[in-house]
Amino acid sequence: MTLDEQAILRLNDLLREAGRRIVIVSHTNPDGDAVGSSLAWAEILRGMGHRVLCVVPNKYPYFLDWMTGIEEVVVYKTDTEGRAARAVEEADLIFCLDFNAISRLENLSDVIESNTTARRVLIDHHLAPDPGFELMFSHPDASSTSFIVYKIIERLCGTGAITPAMAEAMYVGMMTDTGNFSFSFLTPDLYRAVAVLAETGIDLPQIHNNVYNAFTEGRARLFGYAINRKMEIIQDGTVAYMSLLESEMRRFQFQQGDSEGFVNYALTIKKVKMSAMFVAHRKFIRISLRSRGDVDVNLFARKYFNGGGHRNAAGGKSFDTMQQTIDHYVRSVAEFARNGYLG
């Protein structure tokens, strides 16, 4: 991944031209990369003298509650004081991190669109970003948005400006979006970045423990239930899927983030090349897709579920019933295989 020199110069100009009011937004169901990149970027901007507020559409997972500065992140869905809306309305500059389209902000989208004067800057690693941004750091070849933020900070301020809190936040993003450094653009440059972060003195084993070993008993039992009762293997053992209804999740005291990572588990089965997870919400079903090798779930998501993402990690939505969604998935997988996309 290489940053464009002109983009860095333009970013410098925007930061000089802008007033001191900046808002950072990230996507619905914010994950470790969305939160980590936002917290790190907010701190570097505050160091430049800007007033910065981080806003997320809905609550981040509880296993990120320990992160430094996360108490300052405003959750739009539960923001009864209207702090997020006011900040967006008054913002001179809006940074959009870890998503490629304003529509991914759901209810927060209208608030963002209502500010027609603020400059918008995209920092993201998903494919096919929407137009409408003043400046884009769009790098689908980057393993995470946190890594892009690291590279921008390196170029703007030098790595000496990275504090332990910033290092901690970016490491969470890099670690979680690569499956604990097991997939997705594991380049020498990424590991050099990790070395720089480690040199700030952050406790890497403790960070791993905070993220991956801090689940509730209900989440552990939900995982066992999903694997034992809800995992199905199709297409001669090469494709898997799991589904969870709201009633099933309530049985295990489901909390935001509890199903994160479930979709990856089927890929530990030797023959499985593609996996899906269907999680029911009140008005729709959220679909997570994962694959390995050359199986392109971004293509699959775009073709069959009006979604998208990366080659090996993508998602979409369905507004049908769970059974209709699963039936559509099974038919789509069969067509996908007939067209030679499953290898």
Which pLDDT tens digit goes with each residue over 193-246? 999 999 999 999 999 999 999 999 999 999 999 999 999 999 999 999 999 999
Compute how many other C-beta atoms are within 10 angstroms of the C-beta atom of residue 13: 11
Domain that holds residue 17: 5-211
User: 252 and 155, same structural domain?
Assistant: no
Domain tally, the chain: 2
Handedness of CA 7, 12, 15, 18 (dihedral sign): negative
- Determine the average pLDDT of the residues in 315-337: 97
Domain end, chosen from 178, 211, 244, is at 211
pLDDT at position 124: 97
Q: The CATH number of the domain where 135 resides is what?
A: 3.90.1640.10
Average pLDDT, the chain: 95
User: 227 and 190, same structural domain?
Assistant: no
pTM over 0.85: yes
User: 56 and 148, same structural domain?
Assistant: yes
User: 173 and 236, same structural domain?
Assistant: no
User: 82 and 36, same structural domain?
Assistant: yes
Whether the per-residue pLDDT at 148 is higher than 80: the answer is yes
Q: Is residue 343 part of a domain?
A: no
Q: Is 282 exposed, middle or buried (0-12, 13-18, 19+ CB in 10 A)?
A: exposed
User: 332 and 226, same structural domain?
Assistant: yes
Domain end, chosen from 173, 195, 211, is at 211
| pLDDT tier for residue 4 given thresholds of 50, 70 and 90 | very high
Whether the per-residue pLDDT at 55 is higher than 90: the answer is yes
Cβ atoms of 23 and 88 within 8 Å: the answer is yes
